[in-house]
Structure 1
Amino acid sequence: MTGPGRRRVTSGDVAREAGVSRATVSYVLNETPHQKIPEATRRRVREAAARLGYAPSAAARSLRTGRSDIVLGLLPDWPIEHVMGRLVQQLTRAFAEHGLTFLVHSTGHPARPLGEVWKALTPVALLALGEFAEPEAGALRAAGIEVVMALHGSERGRRRAPLVSEEPIGVTQARHLVRSHGRLGYAYPDLPGLDALARPRLDGVRKVCVELGLPEPDVRVVSFEHDGALAAVRAWRAAGPPVTGVCAFNDDVALAVLVALRSLGLRAPQDLAVIGVDDTSAAALAQPPLTSVARDTEVVARGLVRRVVDSLDGKPAPSGPLRDPLRLRLRASA
């Protein structure tokens, strides 16, 4: 057992406790194949390790096997809220099913430089959940670390298509609203770091408008300050023709629009229909309850883990994005 003033338990301690050699402890705890060790001895070693609280050294295991079991997840400088937190949990569980440990590192300032982090951890792979440039990826690959880019990145100076596409989210929002609204608005977040998500979602809304011959969506930055959301709602109402349906970047931005509507004595969807993204718990509690596009993050997490595991196994990566099922949670706001 380790703790303040206590040394780390070693395999030698387990060997003495179980009355066997250190080699036997290693064979048993690492489940080394083709070793003729009686089951009673195996049980005695496992019980001794549990009694002493022995945890094998990750560094020693890396030296023995020739590779780490750590996958480093690179988080972008985004708010770590409901959906991102759930995705990280699901990635952690899915990697564990493959015997891999998922650790995350945020790029938010003043984070420790990524180069220092991966050199200290020596991960077997890096999963970039935000934008990631090819020069950085090249340095990791040169060190024998697999790199999988989930969102936008660059390869040899060219933009690379994301594994998880955001455009279908905007398409889903717009196709729902255009059934009864001829002019759409887009509530854009006021956090620049979210552009990698917001731009393609807006592109999806624009795509639907072009296909149906509708006006370009009226894009307004919506801050969480009360006056900012009020200004956006007033501008949409004063536009010619007026905006009657708004696709919001996510549920938080949509809720800010709903609050502004109430402050102006207006109602959703009668005066302005609003649709969000993420289907957070607050969406169902809003007044009125918020219609939202929900993503199946469990499917996304397992797809990302499969890409990483296949890369480690030397399998060719399939072309195209991951399967990313979306569902529309219909409520009273749109």
Structure 2
Amino acid sequence: MPREPRTRVASSPVPPVSITSADVARLAGVSRATVSFVLNDTPGHRVSESTRTRVLDAARQLGYVPHAAARSLRAGRSNLVLMPASISAIGRLVSDWVDDLHSELDRHGYTAVLHAGRFADPLDAARAWAELRPAAVIALDGDRFTAQAADLLGRAGVRGLLAFAARPVPGVHTIGFDHADIGAAAAEHLISRGRKRIGVVLPQERGLGTLALPRLAGAESVAARHMATVAPVELAYTRESATSLARRWPSLGLDAVFAYNDEYAALLLHALRAEGVAVPDEVAIVGSDDLVLSALQEPPLTTVRLDLPSPARVAASLHELIETGTTPPLPAVEALLIHRATS
């Protein structure tokens, strides 16, 4: 009799077993409470150095990672600092500053996490943040923060609320940062250099409108006082978009441009020069952020430098907010014009 072919049955993958503190305790030969004292560095509980070493070696051997939510529940507080921000809206200047802030918060025992969710309603955003039960929230785009959102977060146990915003927000420790000041500084400079028809770049990348529109409004407010005109100019951060705009530039009738930031300014500078538009003779250009690349352009870019409070100072203030509920005011962000050869 011919043998029937075997049917191979695919086995379902076995889910990995979760390692618990009980496993660590068993391997180290100690109680679960001792494991908790060692891994959470619980104050007031003395553990011998040999026991501490056994626990740490067992945890390392098993690949055990403490459960942050459970640890926060036991301690009665979280060490999480939430930073709501659109990733696309964080330019190089701010991303470097945020990296340094993460390090400073870590020195105070906090873990900083970027939250990139987009919410049309500030209360919906606050509810999403509150679900994570952070110790604090730092809003880089604090102009959308409301008193109602702050109240909701406070009732959820969030102890520190800090926001960069153009105006004070009730219930929130506010650091003054008005993006209109950036556009105003650029326009004031360009008009002082004899320019009267100023374009203001509106980046087409998602998430940048909340920063670009106040900068446009700041330039418009200055132009209205000086018999100058301002026109929004759309630009995506691509070579194709910059080349298209540069080819249309002579038909726009503009003699200057505030290009949102140094990255867009450098992109447009190269596109204009490639199309034979002379900078600054035919068009003056101003960027923002005073990045290293701005001084390395040919010609070097005029820019607006942003003086932000140091990450160390912000982290210390946030820690004080969490611990005591109050902290002295921090200085507002200043917009300072750095004049170079493109204007």
TM-score where L is the length of structure 2: 0.75
How big is the shift at 1:11?
Answer: 2.1
Task: Show the counterpart of 1:52.
Answer: 62
Partner of 2:101: 91
Match of 2:40 among 7, 27, 30: 30
Q: Specify the alignment match of 1:134 in structure 2.
A: 147
What does 1:236-251 correspond to in 2, within 5 Å? 236-237=253-254, 243=255, 245-251=256-262
Q: Structure 1's 96 and 185: CA in aligned 2 closer, same or farther, altered over 3 A? A: same
1:12 partner SS:
helix
- Residue equivalent to 2:92: 82
- Counterpart of 1:40 (choices 50, 73, 76) is 50
Matched-pair contact (CA < 8 Å) for 1:133–1:153: no
- The reply to whether residue 271 of structure 1 matches residue 282 of structure 2 is yes
Gaps in structure 1 of 5+ consecutive residues: 238-242
CA pair 233-306 structure 1, distance change in 2 beyond 3 A = farther
Which secondary structure does the structure 2 equivalent of 1:95 belong to?
helix
> 1:68 and 2:68 equivalent?
no
In the TM superposition, what is the alpha-carbon distance from 1:32 to its structure 2 partner? 2.6
* Structure 1 position 268, deviation (Å): 0.8
Pick one of 149, 155, 158 that aligns with 2:163: 149
Contact 1:303 / 1:322 at 8 angstroms: preserved in 2?
Answer: no
SS at match of 1:318: coil
Deviation at 1:274, TM superposition (A): 0.9
- Aligned partner of residue 103 in structure 2, secondary structure: helix
Mapped to 2, the partners of 1:184 and 1:74 lie a distance apart of 37
| 1:256 to 1:232, Cα distance in 2 relative to 1, 3 A | farther
Residues 300 and 322 of structure 1 are in contact (CA less than 8 Å); yes or no, is this contact kept in structure 2?
no
Q: How many Å apart are 1:189 and its aligned residue?
A: 0.8
1:52 Cα deviation (Å)? 2.5
Which residue in 1 is equivalent to 2:178?
A: 165
Contact 1:218 1:236 in 2 (8 A): no
Task: Give the match for residue 197 of structure 1.
Answer: 211
Contact preservation (8 Å) 1:152, 1:196: no
How many residue pairs get aligned? The number is 320
| Equivalent-residue separation in structure 2 for 1:292 and 1:38 (angstroms) | 58
Instruction: Report the AA paired with residue 333 of structure 1.
Output: T
Whether contact under 8 Å (1:134, 1:153) holds in the other structure is: no
2:163 maps to a residue whose letter is M
Deviation of the 1:214 alpha carbon: 3.5
Match of 1:235 in 2: 252
1:258 aligns to what? 269
Q: How does 1:292-307 map to 2 (within 5 A)?
A: 292-295=303-306, 299-307=309-317
Tell me by how many angstroms 1:43 deviates: 2.6
Contact 1:150–1:304 at 8 Å: present in 2 too?
Answer: no
* Distance in 1, Cα, partners of 2:285 & 2:233: 15
How high is the TM-score relative to the length of structure 1? 0.76
1:220 matched to 2:232? The reply is: yes
Rounded Cα–Cα distance in structure 2 between residues aligned with 1:161 and 1:58: 29
| Contiguous gaps of at least 5 residues in structure 2 | 1-13
Higher radius of gyration, 1 or 2: 2
Contact preservation (8 Å) 2:162, 2:175:
no
| Residue deviations 1:30-57 (CA, integer Å, cap 9, x gap) | 2233334322222332232223222221
What is the alpha-carbon distance in structure 2 between the residues aligned to residue 17 and residue 327 of structure 1? 63
**Match of 1:38, as an amino acid?**
S
Query: What are the Cα deviations for residues 135-166 of structure 1, in whole angstroms up to 9, with x where unaligned?
Result: 2332222212243222357746xxx9753333
Give 3-state SS (helix, strand or coil) of 1:123's partner: coil
Farther-moved stretch of structure 1 (120-129 vs 215-224): 215-224
Contact 1:73–1:127 (8 Å) recurs in 2: yes
- SS of residue in 2 equivalent to 1:15: helix
Distance 2:127 2:230 in 1: 44
Asked if the contact 1:77/1:108 (under 8 Å) is kept, the reply is no
The Cα offsets for residues 214-242 of structure 1, whole Å up to 9 and x where unpaired, read as: 333523323233444554554344xxxxx
Over 3 Å counting, the alpha-carbon distance change for 1:106 and 1:232 in structure 2 is farther
Contact 1:229-1:256 at 8 Å conserved across structures: no
8 Å Cα contact 1:132-1:152 kept in structure 2: no
RMSD: 3.9
Q: 1:306 to 1:231 in 2, by over 3 A?
A: farther
User: What is the DSSP-based 3-state SS (H/G/I as helix, E as strand, rest coil) of the residue aligned with 1:305?
Assistant: helix
